[in-house]
Structures are given as C-alpha cells and as structure tokens.
C-alpha cells in the first residue's frame, strides 16, 4: 500500500470501529469501489492494535475495576457489580466466537459482496432506529443481568456479516432491552475488547506463520492513526450521544445502503 491508502484505511478503521455504521463495510468498500488491493495481514494487525489501545485507554479505569473485582470475587470480598459485569462480558463474547468459527469461510467469500453490505447496512440501520425510538432507555449498566448479556452476545454474533456493525447491533439489542443510550454504548465498547484482542491475536499469529517480512513503518503508522481516530471517536460519540441520539447514524446508513444498491446494479 502507498502511504495515502494506508493512512485513509487506518483512519476509517479507527473512526468506524466504534460507531454504529460498520467498520468492516467501510474497509471492504474502498477495494470494491476504487480497486485498492487487499491491505494485508500486517495492516490488519496494526489497526486492531490501534483500536484495542484506544478503547483500553478510554476505559482504563473501568477495565481495571472490572479485572480487579473479577479476580478478587473468589476470595472474601465476594461478587460485586464490577465482577458481575466481567461475567456479563465473558458470557456475551461466547456466541460471536462460536459463530465466527462456523461461518468464517462464508464471510470471506459471499459475505463481502456489495449487495450483502448494502442489505445489512439498511436492515440493521432501520432496526437501530426502531430500538432507539421504542426502547425505554432507562436501565443503567449496573442492572445488566447475565440473561441480557447473553441476548446482546447473540446479537453481536450477527455482526460477523459485513455491513451489520458490531457496535450497532449490540447497541440495538441493549436499547431494545431498555438500557439507556450511555449504558448501551459503554457495554458495547467494553464488549469490543475481548473480540478485538482475539481477532488481533489471530491475525498476528497468521502473520508470523506466513513468514511475511514486517514493514514496521507501515505497522507503526497504522497503529498510531487508528488509535488516535478511534480514541477521538469514542470520546466525541459518548459526549454527543444523549443530545443527538442514534438517528444521524440511521440516516447515514440508509443513504449509504441506497447508494450501494444503485452502484451495484
């Protein structure tokens, strides 16, 4: 990749990873629309590291409290709201891992077509709008049960289909269950940590196994740009969410989906 292509894709990854508009769709589309070559394993590893670093930095205090509570719950301290949240993240992660192993081959072939992306972009955009309008939006994150976590996790597994948006579908599920916008977004972001870590580790292992010489300047640039873009995105999204709601993202998805249908046909 040239520097412009690398920078553009890294920023796109960082900006779209945590917004409810599908990062996978936005990374696939440039190659479909502009004929850009596949970004390669090294780039995938770099942007995963950058995105993971951004969400860990943004939620560093929450992550520390959850980890500390989860490991100390087995002692005299016992369960706490933070340790239960840790269990909720674990439970919600399992469905995506299982489904990912089952349909990985399909996603790499038929799942990356423009028509699939256009369809899921519109369909799950509409569902996000319905959930934001119909949901009671009153439950705080502290009331999240393991049953609700599992339901959100089952929804997250659908996001393996490009165009769905992992953050979008998890926020949709949480809103439908009555959680507030802030609670829905925060759980979605926390839930991204184990999946990004797993995906990045898998890509890193594939990179080592392939024996491809690492282009360290490309990797470092990809990490830095995706980190900055993702961190800014998380902060601005959480700050503006209660004011703007989900409708701007719903409208964007509908316009993008229609444009893709027109382009593909």
pLDDT score at 211: 67
More confident residue, 74 or 29: 74
Mean pLDDT: which of 3-17, 201-215, 222-236 is highest? 222-236
pLDDT at 8 over 80: yes
pLDDT score at 39: 65
Q: Percentage of the chain surpassing pLDDT 70?
A: 91
**Three-class DSSP labels, 86-155:** HHHHHHHHHHHHHHHHHHHHHHHCHHHCHHHHHHHHHHHHHHHHHHHHHCCCCECHHHCCHHHHHHHHHH
Q: Are 169 and 4 contacting, i.e. CB atoms less than 8 angstroms apart?
A: no
pLDDT at 38 over 70: no
Q: Find the helix packing angle between 166-176 and 181-210, rounded to 10°.
A: 150
Full-model pTM: 0.91
Question: What mean pLDDT do residues 189-216 have?
Answer: 80
Give the confidence band of 157 by pLDDT, cuts at 50, 70, 90: very high
More confident residue, 105 or 251: 251
pLDDT score at 37: 67
Give the model confidence (pLDDT) of 101-156 as tens digits: 887 666 666 556 788 888 999 999 999 999 999 999 999 999 999 999 999 999 99
């Amino acid at each position: 990749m040239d520097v412009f292509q690398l920078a553009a894709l890294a920023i796109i990854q960082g900006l779209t990873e945590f917004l409810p508009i599908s990062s996978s769709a936005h990374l696939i589309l440039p190659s479909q629309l502009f004929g850009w070559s596949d970004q390669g394993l090294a780039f995938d590893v770099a942007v995963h590291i950058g995105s993971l670093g951004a969400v860990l930095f943004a939620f560093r205090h929450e992550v520390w409290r959850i980890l500390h509570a989860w490991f100390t719950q087995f002692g005299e301290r016992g369960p706490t709201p933070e340790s239960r949240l840790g269990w909720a993240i674990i439970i919600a992660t399992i469905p995506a891992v299982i489904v990912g192993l089952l349909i990985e081959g399909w996603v790499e072939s038929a799942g990356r077509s423009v028509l699939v992306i256009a369809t899921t972009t519109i369909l799950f955009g509409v569902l996000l709008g319905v959930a934001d309008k119909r949901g009671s939006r009153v439950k705080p994150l502290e009331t999240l049960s393991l049953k609700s976590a599992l339901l959100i996790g089952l929804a997250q597994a659908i996001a393996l289909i490009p165009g769905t948006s992992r953050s979008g579908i998890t926020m949709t599920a949480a809103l439908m269950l009555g959680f507030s916008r802030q609670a829905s977004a925060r759980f979605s972001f926390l839930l991204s940590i184990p999946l990004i870590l797993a995906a990045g580790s898998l890509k890193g292992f594939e990179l080592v196994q392939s024996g491809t010489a690492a282009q360290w300047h490309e990797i470092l640039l990809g990490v830095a740009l995706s980190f900055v873009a993702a961190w800014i995105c998380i902060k601005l999204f959480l700050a503006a969410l209660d004011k703007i709601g989900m409708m701007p993202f719903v409208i964007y998805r509908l316009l993008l989906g229609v444009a893709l249908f027109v382009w593909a046909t």
